Chains A and B, each alone.
Chain A
Amino acid sequence: MVDAFLFVGLPYIAIVTALIVGIRRVRGNPFSMSSRSSQFLEDRKLAWGSAPWHLGILVVLAGHVVAGVFPKIWSSLLAAPGALFVVEALGVAGSLLALAGLAALIYRRLTSARVQAVTVPADLIVSALLLGQILVGLMSAIHFRYGSAWSAGTVVPYFWGLVTLSPDLSYVADFPMLFKLHLVGAWLIVLLLPFTRLMHLLAVPLPYLWRAPQLVLWNNVRRRQQARAAVVQAESRREFLKGAAGAAGATGLLALGVSEKTLSFFRGPRPDLESESALLQKKLERLQQTAEERQLELERQRNDMILVGRYADLVETKGRYFIDYAMGPGLAFKGRDGLPIVLSAKCTHLGCTVGSELDARGRVLCPCHISYFDVQTGRPNDGAPAKLPLPQIGWALVDAGGKVVASRKPGQPLPGLLDPASLSQCSLYITKPGRDLGPS
C-alpha cells in the first residue's frame, strides 16, 4: 500500500503538479525561470561551490537521463570492454564533485550574511533534499555496485511502465531500502521543481555561447565607454569558453581513443589454444632454420668437403643453389661436356645473389643492377655494373664407395674426359680452398 503510493501515486502527482504549476509560472512570470543570482552579493565562495556542483551533477544527471530514455543505446555502450568501469568511475567522480560543491554552497548560504538576507525557506529545503539525494545515490552506487548495468532490467522498466501509463510495481517491491529512498527523493525533487529555484534546470543557458553580442547603451559618455569595454571583455570570455570547451572535448576524445588502443596494446593478445600452438610451431620452425644455418657454418669450418648434391640431379639450364665455404651462395650446373660447373652466386658488384635460370646465351642474371654472367667463364657482359667474373669453386666427384673420382681446383685445367655413365652414381662436393685432396 505504501509502495503503491510512493512509487505510483507520488510520481504521477509530482509530474502533473510540475507540469501545471510549471506552465503557469512560465506564462505568468517568465523571468522567474532562472535561479535568482546571488553572485552580486558574494562571488568568491560561490565560484568554489557552483562550478564543481554544476559540473558534477551534469555528468551524473546525463548518465541517468541517457540510461533511462535510451536504454538500448546505453546497454550497447556498456558492452564495450572496460566501458562499465569508465562509466561507474565517471559517475562516482561526478557525484563526489557535486557533493563537494553542494557542501560549499550550503556552507556559504549558512555563513554569509548578505546571502542569508535573500535566502527563502525553499532554498534550504532544496539544498537539504539535493544533499540527501546525492548521499543516498552515492551510497547505493557503492553498496550495490554496477548500477549502470543492472538498472537496465529494474529501474528502466519501472520508469517506462510509468511513462506508458501501465505502472508495474513488481520491479520496485524487491528494491533495497536505500534505493527506494533514492527513488522517492527523485520524485520529491520533481514535485518541488516548479515551486523553487530548481526551475532554472529547464532554462539551459546554452544560447549564451552563440547569441549576438549585447551592448547596453548609456547617455553618459563615461558609462558608454565602460559598457563598450565590458562587452569586449565579455566577448573575449565567450570565445575563450568556446575554445576551451572545444579543446577539452578534443583532448578528451583523443585521450580516450589513444588510451583504448594503447591499453590493449600493452595488455597483449590473448590467443586461443589453436592459434597459440600455431604461433609456437612457427617459432620452432624459425629456430630450426637458424640451427641449420649454424650447423652449415660449423661444417664448413671443420670439413674438407661439403656435399652439394647427387650428380644425377644436376641439369644444364637451371642451377642448384648451395652455401659455399665463405657462407655465401653458390650455383652448380651440369656443363655441356657432362662435367659440373660450380661457381659463386654472389654478384661481384654489390653482393646480391644471382638468379639460377640460364638464358638462351648460357648466362645467369643478377636482378639488382642487371649484370649477365656467362656460367662457363663466370665473366659479366660488357657494360655491366659488375666488372669481375664470378669466382669458380673447387669441386670433387665422389663415387658411392667414397672414392674421389675427379676433382678440379679453380684456375686448373679440366681433369680430362670421364665416362658420364660412370658418374651417375657419384655425388658432387665442393672442396675447401687451399686443401689438397690427393690424387684425383
Chain B
Amino acid sequence: MKPQQTLRRTGDFLAERFPVDKLNFASMVGKKEVPVHRLSWGYYLGGLALFFFMVQVVTGLMLLFYYQPTVSDAHASVEYITEHVPAGALVRNIHAWASSLMIASVLGHLLSAFAMKAFARPRELTWVSGALLLGITFAFGFTGYLLPWHQIAVNATKIGLQTIEEIGAYLPGQMSLWPAAIKEIIQGEATVGQATLSRFFALHVIILPLGIVAVLGAHLLSVQLHGMSQGVDDKPRRMEKFFPAFLLKDLSVWGVAFMILFVLGLCLPFESLFAYPLFEPYNPKGSTPDGIKPEWYFFWIYYPLELLPFWVILAGQGLLGVVLLGTPWIFRNTNRRTLQVLAVAAGLYLLVMTVFGETIYHLFKG
C-alpha cells in the first residue's frame, strides 16, 4: 500500500468514528433518540457509573481537606475524619460505598454493552475508550486502598505489588529483571513506605483523575455523536427523545441512587464488612495479620491466583486484556445471541467468584 493511500484510509477511519459534522447541539441533543426495547435498562448503567464518579470527585475533594499523606499522620488523619469531623464519617463512608458501586456499575455497563453489540462499527473507539476507563477505575480502587495506611491496606498493597515482580520468572534473559524494576518504580523504595504512600496519593488524586477526565470526555463525546446503539436485532418499535424524556428518567435513576448511597453511608459503615483488627494502624514490626485480602472487586482474579499456577493467571490476564481491547474486531461477525450468552457467562463468573470465592478457595485448599 502506498503511504498516501494509508494516510487517506486512516483519515476515513477517524472521520467515521468522530463525525465532526454532527458536532452541534441539534444532532447531539435535539434530534437524539433512545430505542425502547427489553434491554433498554442497559442504557442507564453508563450514566450510573458517571454519577458515582461525580460523587467520588466531590467526596474525594472533601476528604482532601483533612487527609494527610504521611506514614505517621495518614492513619491518624483518617481516624480524625471518621471520629471528630462533623459528617466526616458520612463523607468517608459515601466515598467507600460509591467506589464499590461505581465499579459494579462499570462492570454492568461493560457486560450490557457487550451483549447489545454496542461496539459494532462505527463505535469501535467508544468501546476501546471504555476499556481504558475500566482499567483506570481499577487503578483508582487499588491506589485508594492504601491511603488509610492500616494493616490490611499496607499488607494487601505489598502482596499486590509483589505479584508484579513474580512475572519476572517467566521472562527470558535480561527482561526477567524488568518487572522488579517496574515494581520499585511504583513503590519508590525497597519496601512499601513513605515513598509508596506519596506516589499512590499523587496517582489517586491527580494523575488518575486527569487521565479519567480526558478519556471520559472522549467516551461521552463519541456516545453523543453516534447516538445510542440499537442494541437488539429487530428494529425497535418505539423510540423516545433523549431530551427531555430519557434524560429525566436518567436523572431520576441518579436521584434514587443518591438516596440509596446516602442511606447506606449513614447506616452501614463500609468497614463493618471486615474484621476489626485489620484497621489498626500499620505496624512494620508485627506479623501480617490473618484475613488479608483485596477489595471484593479483585476477587475474580485474586482467588484463581491463589488456586492456580501463576503462569495460568498471567496468560489468562494477558488474553483478557487483548480480548477486551480487540473486542470490536474479534466479535465483528458474532451475532447478538452468542454475545448475550457470553456476557451472561462472564457475569455469572464474576458473581460466583465475588460471592463464593472464599468458599471455593477453602474447598480446594482445605
Contacts and interface: CB of A to CB of B under 8 A. Distances in A.
B143 interface: no
A337 to B, nearest CB: 26
Contact of B286 (A265, A353, A368): A353
20 contacts: A254-B258, A261-B87, A261-B91, A265-B65, A265-B86, A266-B65, A268-B66, A283-B73, A286-B75, A290-B72, A326-B190, A327-B190, A328-B191, A329-B287, A351-B159, A352-B287, A354-B288, A356-B287, A367-B292, A368-B155
Contacts of B71: 290
Contacts of B159: 350-352, 368
Given A268-B66, A327-B190, A367-B289, 9 more contacts: A265-B87, A266-B62, A268-B86, A269-B84, A283-B72, A286-B76, A293-B284, A351-B159, A353-B286
A134 interface: no
Nearest to A282: B76
Given A287-B72, A350-B163, A250 B255 contact: yes
A265 B62 contact: yes
A354 B287 contact: yes
B346 to A, nearest CB: 27
Interface in B30-84: 62, 65-66, 70-73, 75-76, 80, 84
Contacts of B306: 369
Interface of B: 62, 65-66, 70-73, 75-76, 80, 84-88, 90-91, 155, 158-159, 162-163, 166, 190-191, 255, 258, 281, 284-290, 292, 306, 365
B92 to A, nearest CB: 10
B284 A262 contact: no
A352 B84 contact: no
Contacts of B90: 261
Contacts of B65: 265-266
Given A327-B191, A369-B306, A268 B72 contact: no
Contacts of B84: 269, 271, 275, 279
B87 A321 contact: no
A229 to B, nearest CB: 22
A267 interface: yes
A35 interface: no
Contact of A321 (B190, B281, B286): B286
Interface string A333-354: 0000000000001010011111
A331 to B, nearest CB: 9
Q: Interface centre among B166, B285, B290, by most A CB within 10 Å?
A: B285
B158 A269 contact: no
A91 interface: no
Contacts of A352: 155, 158-159, 287-288, 292
Contacts of A328: 191
A267 B86 contact: yes
